[in-house]
Homo-oligomer: A and B are copies of this chain.
Amino acid sequence: MNLLKELIVINPRSDVAVYLQIENAFIQHIRQGRLSKGLKLPGSREMAGLLNVNRMTVVAAFNELEAQGWIELRSRQGTFIKSSLPLLAPKKIQKANSSFKIPEKAGFAYDEKKIVPVYPSDFPPTDKLIFNDGFPDPRISPAEQLMKTMRRLSRLPSQRKYLQYGGAQGTLFLRETLCAFLNETRGLLITPENILITRGAQMGLYIAASILLQPGDAVAVGTPGYDAANITFRQLGARIHNIPMDDDGMDINVLEALCKKKKLKAVFVIPHHHNPTTVTLVPERRIRLLELAARYRFAIIEDDYDYDFHYSSKPIMPMASLDHNGNVIYIGTLSKTITPSVRFGFMVAPAAFIRTAVSLRKSMDTQGDSIMENAIGELYKDGTMARHIKKSVNLYRERRDNLCTLLKTHLKDHVSFAVPDGGMSVWTKFLHADLSIVSEQAFKKGLIIKNGRGYDTDKVKYNSVRLGFASLNPAEQEKAVKILKEIISQL
């Protein structure tokens, strides 16, 4: 059996555990026929001597190989390569044609226009500075802590049931923890039956809109408005009515006039730091909006994704916390707090509505990742998230102030903006330079900045863009603003 010694080569410097190296080598040689079916293997002690490893290492490898069905232990005879090895190649239903490829276009009929196209997004390039739309900084994300907690939970027998199916509404533990957090931070007096855990605010919006809207139904939104919400409403066949925004938020007089003419099913509002203009809906208008909703029986979809990131004074309590008539569907996200690609959010609404929402969620997406939900619950419960929010708020406030100072210093006569009360971006109007040209030239100098066209309507060309400050540190901000200055001075 010196063959084995030659075939099984162990690399002591490899990252792969030695028993796995042995196992992998065996599998490879069995598959390729070098170790034939029915072959008798030496005992673990002899094998350990041959390979110069600890006997327990060989035992571990043999156990794995046996569990996977490559080898078998015949009592009082020894260990053998299995003679009835499961075949590896799938059964072919006719001759394989290796030049065959799936055609580019489908062979069945479907209406491509049924789905509103969404601009494909990719991960940000790492070799460029980016004024993103207002995203948190992954460099301070608590993602690693979350994953550490997940790993710990996944080992606990008490958590084992959360590896199984169940809980399309989100785990009770996370919903309970969020109830406490939302009560403390937002004055929401709710119980776990009022919460559905979603994959970010976007899924909450999609579910709420799917339940509320039939094709042709009327929805009111602020303009300029949030693109992703408008796409969702269009996707569901709704008719969108644009309500102008001013410095106090949505113009409620215009909305009221619309209510008198038209049966509205829903009004979509971003009460803190409206996207894109960053204005906050003032308390008086919130009260009026609630009154209109009660009178005309429409739903307020309150997308308060930015509540936790408010810098100037205190955030304003959500309409949901005053909603005596059950008119508000309150949507929020945890992804802004954790990190964008970890998709968690919530919907708060009357319990009957939540039950319907759970049904739809289950059809769309069976359930959430329950261990991750519990891990997030732990981070909220033990104060990690509150500390992280506080830390982020302080850091982002500084970064907001720093960017505003840089804009005033270097682009004084070229841009106008209002310092936002919160959120992660400054809505910046370019006064003279054409933003499309700025965007193009900036790209050549290593800075990504949108051309702002996405916010324009038929009637208004804003020539404005959201300058995300949260994920740029002061040095990066200075570099970015100086690139803009250089471009503008040469136009």
Point out the residues of chain B lying under 8 angstroms from A461, CB to CB.
none
A47-55, A154-162, A401-409, A438-446: which lies at the interface:
A154-162
Is there an interface contact between B161 and A155, defined as CB atoms closer than 8 Å?
no
Is there an interface contact between B148 and A151, defined as CB atoms closer than 8 Å?
yes
Q: Which of B194, B341, B364 contacts A165 (CB 8 A)?
A: B341
Q: Is A458 an interface residue (CB 8 A)?
A: no
Q: Is A5 an interface residue (CB 8 A)?
A: no
Is there an interface contact between A164 and B320, defined as CB atoms closer than 8 Å?
no
Interface code A95-119, partner B: CB below 8 Å = 1, 0 otherwise? 0101011111111111110111110
Q: How far is the CB of A7 from chain B (nearest CB, A)?
A: 18
Using A123-B370, A235-B363, A293-B107 as known contacts, say yes or no to A356 and B115 having CB atoms under 8 A apart: yes
Is there an interface contact between A299 and B165, defined as CB atoms closer than 8 Å?
no
Q: Is A337 an interface residue (CB 8 A)?
A: no
Is there an interface contact between A353 and B106, defined as CB atoms closer than 8 Å?
yes
A345-403 interface with B by 8 A CB criterion: 348-353, 355-356, 358-360, 362-372, 382-383, 387, 390-391, 393-395
Question: By CB atoms of chain B within 10 A, which of A202, A286, A358, A367 has the most?
Answer: A367
Point out the residues of chain B lying under 8 angstroms from A144, CB to CB.
151, 154-155
Is there an interface contact between A114 and B341, defined as CB atoms closer than 8 Å?
no
Q: Which of B104, B200, B471 contacts A366 (CB 8 A)?
A: B200
Using A68-B387, A143-B371 as known contacts, say yes or no to A106 and B352 having CB atoms under 8 A apart: yes
Q: How far is the CB of A287 from chain B (nearest CB, A)?
A: 7
Using A68-B394, A102-B326, A314-B87 as known contacts, say yes or no to A93 and B162 having CB atoms under 8 A apart: no
Point out the residues of chain B lying under 8 angstroms from A393, CB to CB.
69, 86
Q: Which of B90, B124, B186, B316 contacts A317 (CB 8 A)?
A: B90
A133-141, A245-253, A429-437, A482-490: which lies at the interface:
A133-141
Is there an interface contact between B322 and A164, defined as CB atoms closer than 8 Å?
no
Q: Which of B98, B202, B326, B340 contacts A164 (CB 8 A)?
A: B340
Q: Which of B164, B187, B228 contacts A123 (CB 8 A)?
A: B164
Q: Which of B353, B365, B471 contacts A206 (CB 8 A)?
A: B365
Q: Is A64 an interface residue (CB 8 A)?
A: yes
Complex-state Cα separation, A136 to B393, whole angstroms: 43
Using CB atoms, name the residue of chain B closest to A101: B189
Is there an interface contact between B160 and A139, defined as CB atoms closer than 8 Å?
yes
Using CB atoms, name the residue of chain B closest to A117: B359
Q: How far is the CB of A412 from chain B (nearest CB, A)?
A: 28
A32-40, A166-174, A447-455, A472-480: which lies at the interface:
A166-174
Is there an interface contact between B135 and A165, defined as CB atoms closer than 8 Å?
yes
Complex-state Cα separation, A125 to B387, whole angstroms: 35
Q: Is A175 an interface residue (CB 8 A)?
A: no
Is there an interface contact between B322 and A93, defined as CB atoms closer than 8 Å?
yes
Is there an interface contact between B103 and A350, defined as CB atoms closer than 8 Å?
yes
Q: Which of B107, B118, B369, B370 contacts A363 (CB 8 A)?
A: B118
Q: Is A303 an interface residue (CB 8 A)?
A: no
Using CB atoms, name the residue of chain B closest to A323: B102
Point out the residues of chain B lying under 8 angstroms from A148, CB to CB.
151
Is there an interface contact between A299 and B108, defined as CB atoms closer than 8 Å?
yes
Q: Is A91 an interface residue (CB 8 A)?
A: yes
Using CB atoms, name the residue of chain B closest to A330: B102
Q: Is A77 an interface residue (CB 8 A)?
A: no
Q: Is A313 an interface residue (CB 8 A)?
A: yes
Supplied contacts A90-B317, A91-B283, A206-B364, 7 more A-B pairs, CB within 8 Å: A110-B353, A121-B165, A138-B161, A143-B154, A164-B341, A199-B199, A231-B363
19 residue pairs bridging A and B, Cβ less than 8 Å apart: A64-B387, A100-B322, A102-B189, A102-B194, A102-B320, A103-B325, A103-B326, A110-B212, A115-B360, A122-B167, A124-B164, A126-B160, A126-B161, A138-B163, A147-B151, A163-B341, A166-B341, A235-B363, A364-B364
